[in-house]
Copies of this chain bind each other. A is one copy, B any other.
Amino acid sequence: MNFDLTDERQMLQDSLRRFLRDNQEALSASTRLGNSDNTLGFDAEIWAKLAELGVIGALFSEEDGGFGGAGFDLTTVFEELGRAGAVEPLLDTAILGGGLIAALGTEVQKELVEQVIGGEVHLALAHGEPNSRYDLAQVETTVIHEGDELVLTGRKAVVVNAEAADYLIVSARETGVANDEEGISLFLVPRDSAGLSLRGYPLMAGGRAAEVDLDGLRLSAAARLGAAGAGFAALKRASNRAEVALVAETLGAMEVATDLTREYLLTRQQFGRPIGSFQALQHRMATLLIELEQARSAVINAAGHLEATAAEQALHVAAARNLVGRAGRLVAEESIQLHGGIAMTEEYELAHIAKRIVMAEHRFGDTDTQLERFIDQSAA
């Protein structure tokens, strides 16, 4: 048993933390609400430098051209992104997009992974639909075979990073009914393809997404990623990895929220003394710190089981997301409350951090959905 970071990961953590701290201003500018001139949703220069630093490569295994890719590599990177409140779409381009291509792609398709690692290409996963909620198998978008061509029709909902993406990975149903795990295919589609249209918008916690309309999008069979109808397992695996990244990001954000709150309690005066001397607030702060350690352990458990069996992965990912969801909500709400009015203002750092924490729950399933998954997995 060993809970220390390896030297490599420690170096990665140090250099990434330093880089993000040094670029706080640029990061902040790109993360704020209503920054509607930036339809990229993030800072392109920062992205290039992240690639240069090897941060994207750390998310891929050596086999896939990277130099990491294990659970603890993901958590090392994303905890730092969370601490910085960064909205740069590493989850979408690297973990989801890059991960799926690395897992399923042909040699030709896999060249994109190299470009992802180099920071030259952006990706998005166009999978969720208006009626799918958090159900990974719920795909109503259809594929019809017309001669050699495949015709996709449907709508994809809240596709994060769609506008910046060079390619979308689009899921569609080849056989079966809406909720079957069998029959889901994945396709690698250039974003500017005819028959594919986007309606982009900013997101509550920063970054951008789009509704994607597939109106008779015509593809050749070569656009398929992996075997026909066999996309579900890879989607599940990719979402597990994304969820581990997400809890680590939330953990980083929770660290900052509790740090900011602690500092505020020590400095802010009311009724002639620092408010951190009021015992009721002290005890609530203590509770936050306890839950922060719980969250840290849950992230470690999930990351440490990301190479385990599918059942163990599912169990620990659901457990971590449920716990981090609960602890995160508590930390976000209590941090705001303990600050008072100042935390309600957009310009104060905590406002953005709290939004990152809370809104993370809305990707891949909220705490209740995770609890259901945990219960199912425990009973299985």
Contact = CB atoms under 8 A, between A and B. Distances in A.
Interface string A186-228: 0000000000000000000000000000000000000000000
How many A residues touch the partner, as a band? Answer: under 10
Interface stretch (A32-40, A279-287, A309-317): A279-287
Contacts of A280: 279-280, 282-283
A282 B280 CA distance: 8
Nearest to A284: B280
Nearest to A286: B280
Contacts of A279: 278-280
A264 to B, nearest CB: 18
Copies in the complex: 2
Main secondary structure of the interface of A (DSSP, over half): helix
A277 to B, nearest CB: 10
Interface string A264-286: 00000000000000111011000
A289 B279 CA distance: 19
A40 B186 CA distance: 74
A270 to B, nearest CB: 13
A283 B338 CA distance: 14
Contacts of A283: 280
A283 B283 CA distance: 11
Interface in A144-203: none
A283 B282 CA distance: 12
A279 B280 CA distance: 5
A371 to B, nearest CB: 15
A278 B279 CA distance: 7
A311 to B, nearest CB: 28
A285 to B, nearest CB: 11
A104 to B, nearest CB: 43
Interface in A275-308: 278-280, 282-283
Nearest to A277: B279
A278 to B, nearest CB: 5
Nearest to A282: B280
Nearest to A283: B280
A283 to B, nearest CB: 4
Interface string A54-73: 00000000000000000000
A280 B280 CA distance: 4
Contacts of A278: 279
A154 B109 CA distance: 71
A282 B281 CA distance: 12
Interface in A63-99: none
A144 to B, nearest CB: 40
Interface in A225-284: 278-280, 282-283
A228 B280 CA distance: 61
A280 to B, nearest CB: 4
A279 B283 CA distance: 10
A118 to B, nearest CB: 54
A280 B279 CA distance: 5
A287 to B, nearest CB: 11
Most buried by B among A278, A279, A282: A279
6 contacts: A278-B279, A279-B279, A279-B280, A280-B280, A280-B282, A280-B283
Interface of A: 278-280, 282-283
In order of increasing CB-CB distance, the 6 nearest A-B pairs are A279-B280, A280-B283, A279-B279, A280-B280, A278-B279, A280-B282
